[in-house]
Amino acid sequence: MRVVVSGGSGFLGSHLCEALLNRGDSVCCLDNLSSGRPVNVAALRHDPRFAFETWDVTEPFSVSGDVDAVVHLASLASPVEYERFPLETLAAGSRGTENMLRLADRHSARFVLASTSEVYGDPKVHPQDEAYWGHVNPIGPRSVYDEAKRYAEALSMAYRRSRAVDVGIVRIFNTYGPRMRSYDGRVVSSFIRQALSGEPLTLFGDGSQTRSFCYVDDLVRGLMAMIDSHRPGPFNLGNPNERTVRELAELVVTITGSRSGLRFLPLPVDDPVRRRPVVSRAREALGWYPRVSLEDGLRHTADWFVAQSQGPLRAAEPSAAGRPS
């Protein structure tokens, strides 16, 4: 296949590009590098089947030749970033999604939208399955990301109904692994950075809020299955093993051998209290289920951070505390 991946040099996108190449596909990677990093795909540039374009998906994009699939991952994805760049986040979810849908439409290609568990907001139903419509504050600080993804889902399904575009939607729950940026404000990368640096691990509230953490290799397998499917979804992709944020912090301290303590700050506005996916639909339709335990995934991730020789641990704003996003 020939696959266009928007946001392809980001944390998740770079792993997807690598996996596609490893199975023999060709990849056109689009990224404006607002959060993606060239180093994430540096090893792929030597492959003649890989092409990189510095491109903002809010601008129309065209590519010559056949395209078999378009995967739209491009978006700022951490609260620190999308609250700092709200208009850009909304644009990626609206204009960016439509430009990628138009590209898929022109090439009669499969279109896969990377949506998010944030469409469920601070859920009143637990655990969350795909039939739940969510509980989102449309004017709160998180709304620029939550509502952008909800709009992207509506737009994608409108293209499926009105123009017969082969649309598929996945709702991605908390994903972690190598190539996360240490100061992007996400809880796993922040905890690992703080533990390796001997700093207190920052928790919001009392740390009793829960999340379900999915290792990146598992998530990429789900994306690949969705690319190869013709099912519309939406399908939850995430690990149903629910942990409190405090449990995560204590596990990171243990795995890294750190002596860091815990520091508690007030809970942010609209921060979800509980989050756990029901993944039975993905298991039945895609044959997908996560395999990597949280303990093993955290070890792989911490090993990667250590291997960076402390460089990435200093490479961004030290004010970006880790929220349980």
What band does 270 get if pLDDT is binned at 50, 70 and 90?
confident
Q: Is the sign of the CA dihedral 294, 302, 188, 173 positive or negative?
A: negative
Minimal CA–CA distance to 275: which of 248, 242, 236?
242
Torsion of CA 179, 185, 186, 190, to 10 degrees: 80
Q: Encode pLDDT of 86-114 as tens digits.
A: 999 999 999 999 999 999 999 999 999 99
Minimal CA–CA distance to 272: which of 213, 212, 324?
324
Minimal CA–CA distance to 191: which of 249, 242, 246?
249
Q: Is the sign of the CA dihedral 127, 132, 138, 144 positive or negative?
A: positive
pLDDT at 320: 42
* 3 state DSSP class of 73: coil
Residue 321 CB: number of other CB atoms within 10 A? 18
pTM, two decimals, is 0.93
Q: Encode pLDDT of 62-73 as tens digits.
A: 999 999 999 999
pLDDT at 79: 86
pLDDT at 193: 95
**Residues 6+ away with beta carbon under 8 Å from 305:** 182, 189, 192, 193, 196, 312, 313
Tell me the DSSP string of 244-294. EHHHHHHHHHHHHT----EEEEPPPTT--S---B--HHHHHHH-------H
CB 35 within 8 A of CB 81: yes
Q: Encode pLDDT of 27-55 as tens digits.
A: 999 999 999 999 999 999 999 999 999 99
Angle at 165 between CA 163 and CA 166, to 5 degrees: 155
Q: What are phi and psi of 211, to 5 degrees?
A: -140, 165
What band does 325 get if pLDDT is binned at 50, 70 and 90?
low
For residue 273, is pLDDT > 90?
no
For residue 312, is pLDDT > 70?
no
Give catalytic residues, as residue numbers: 145
Torsional class of 270: left (φ above 0), alpha (ψ -120 to 50), beta (otherwise): left
pLDDT at 310: 54
pLDDT at 80: 86
pLDDT at 232: 98
Residues 168-172, mean pLDDT to the nearest whole number: 98
Distance CA 201, CA 308 (A): 20
Tell me the DSSP string of 111-169. EEEEEEGGGGBS-SSSSB-TT---B--TTSTTHHHHHHHHHHHHHHHHHHHHH--EEEE
Residues 155-174, mean pLDDT to the nearest whole number: 98
pLDDT at 322: 47
CB 207 within 8 A of CB 252: no
Minimal CA–CA distance to 222: which of 41, 57, 73?
73
CB 263 within 8 A of CB 56: no
- The one-letter code for the residue type at 81 is E
What domains appear along the chain, each with residue ranges and CATH number? 2-175+214-237 (3.40.50.720), 177-211+241-273+293-314 (3.90.25.10)
pLDDT at 185: 85
